[in-house]
Chains A and B, each alone.
Chain A
Amino acid sequence: MPPLLNIAIAIVIAAGVGLSSAWLAVERGNIFGLVRIGDWTASPETGGPDADPYAVARLARTGELPLGAGEGLAFLAESDHDGEPLQGDCTYRIVGQTPAARLWTLTAYDRTGRLMTNAAQRQGFDSRAILRHNDGSFEIVASPEVQPGNWLPIATPGTFKLILRLYDTPLTTGTQADSTMPDILRERCR
């Protein structure tokens, strides 16, 4: 093979593989230091001063404001209990308990991380404004259709995501033994 073609192959591989792998690593989200509890994941280190270069690149691209260790921890869910992506035309029951926290909020965002417009003017719930069962557990229904009880309206044609933010939680100091997160159970789809 002529040497020029060889050099061209090397350059194409270097640029193609190098750039695309960097893009994937940053776009796919946090890779290191993930904490997974049930259907939810959090990356406590993203909020800290020791964030890895991928997390820093991601912060720069998205403009997110991570919660610091003194504030709390945010858990993200993009798929249900069976591992299927959360679909905007399906109804989900979010049932169970949260780990210990002085305050938590649950918020629904569309695929791009934007809040969704809905007639009820409701974007989420907080731990103080929620109806609970006698044992302290709760049930939130995320659905495009009006629901009795704790209804979290969803209004997006695509997939959506849920963020459960635990404010002032012992989880940030590393004690996460026997912590449970609510399950996200799919009910039915339109």
Chain B
Amino acid sequence: MNRTLLYVIGGLMLAGIIHIATVIMIPYFATADAYSSMRQFGRDGAFHVLPEARAGHEPLVDLDPQMLYGVCRFSLEDGPIQVTADLPDTFWSVAVFDRRGRNAYSLNDRSAGRTEVDLVVITPVQMAQLRRNPPEELETAIVVELPIETGFVLLRVFVPDDTMLPRARDALATADCSAML
């Protein structure tokens, strides 16, 4: 009997390890995470305007139907990227997410202080290399230094009513997130 108790305790300890391992492994096997879901909108390295979130037609989960969204999946493996956009004079925000959907950097129209977005997303290693010979782009852009290889940029624009929709859609459609040259 004592021996069985020992096995039960051993089983529980093993359960703890399995619990931790499972939680850590889940992201590696997930297929419905935000990054993977965004593949449906088009190629990487460009912004795609999401269809408006309406009942029965939600491009992604957990979207605010009063916002219009643009997403861009990016990779920093071949160098830094530059995010540019000219957004309407209303509430908007830019967020950089890592591959796992964690929000690594964000700012809104008020904290940006202007309606143009000019953001350079760069790894610390690339930044160290660029410091020796900084290009002009870096002088005016907001530099976001992140130790990530892949991720996505999300633009949100508040659309108070449908008359504002075309302006918001144009702004998101002309947003750019290609490689910084």
Contact = CB atoms under 8 A, between A and B. Distances in A.
Contacts of B101: 56, 59-60, 63-66
Given A65-B154, A117-B55, A25 B66 contact: no
Given A68-B106, A117-B55, A63 B37 contact: yes
B108 A167 contact: yes
Nearest to B152: A65
A119 to B, nearest CB: 11
A54 B27 CA distance: 10
Interface in B11-37: 11-12, 14-19, 22-24, 26-27, 30, 32-34, 36-37
Nearest to A66: B103
A167 B32 contact: no
Interface stretch (B56-64, B72-80, B127-135, B165-173): B56-64
Given A53-B24, A107-B64, A114-B55, A68 B103 contact: yes
A53 B95 contact: no
A10 B14 contact: yes
Given A57-B27, A116-B55, A167-B91, A63 B33 contact: yes
A1 B63 CA distance: 56
Counting chain A CB atoms within 10 Å of each CB, the highest count among B11, B12, B34, B61 belongs to: B11
Interface residues of B, number: 59
Interface in A113-164: 113-118, 123-124, 126, 128-129, 163
B103 A62 contact: no
A104 B67 CA distance: 11
A177 B40 CA distance: 43
A70 B158 contact: no
B111 interface: yes
A19 B37 CA distance: 26
B105 to A, nearest CB: 7
A123 B65 contact: yes
B31 to A, nearest CB: 9
26 contacts: A1-B4, A6-B4, A10-B11, A11-B11, A22-B19, A25-B19, A25-B23, A26-B23, A47-B106, A59-B27, A63-B37, A63-B60, A64-B34, A65-B95, A66-B101, A68-B103, A71-B103, A71-B108, A102-B91, A103-B158, A105-B66, A113-B62, A126-B66, A129-B160, A163-B64, A168-B91
Interface of B: 1, 3-4, 7-8, 10-12, 14-19, 22-24, 26-27, 30, 32-34, 36-37, 53-56, 58, 60-67, 91, 93, 95, 97-98, 100-108, 110-111, 154, 156, 158, 160-161
